[in-house]
């Protein structure tokens, strides 16, 4: 159960980081 919880945390965390990086990249492109 702990492993599944950890995977969920990493999934939401990576989505968050990916969004930040995408926004930063589009800002830099301007």
Provide the pLDDT for residue 3.
93
Tell me the pTM: 0.57
Return averaged pLDDT per consecutive 10 residues of the chain, 30 residues in all: 92 97 92
SS3 10: helix
Per-residue model confidence (pLDDT) at position 9: 94
Cα atoms in the 13 Å half-sphere on the side-chain side of 14: 6
Residue 5 phi, psi dihedral angles, 5° rounding: -65, -40
Q: Specify the pLDDT at position 1.
A: 81
pLDDT at 29: 87
pLDDT for position 10: 95
Token reading at 29: 């492109």
């Amino acid at each position: 159960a702990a492993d599944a919880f950890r995977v969920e945390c990493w999934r939401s965390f990576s989505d968050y980081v990916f969004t930040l990086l995408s926004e930063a990249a589009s800002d830099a492109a301007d």
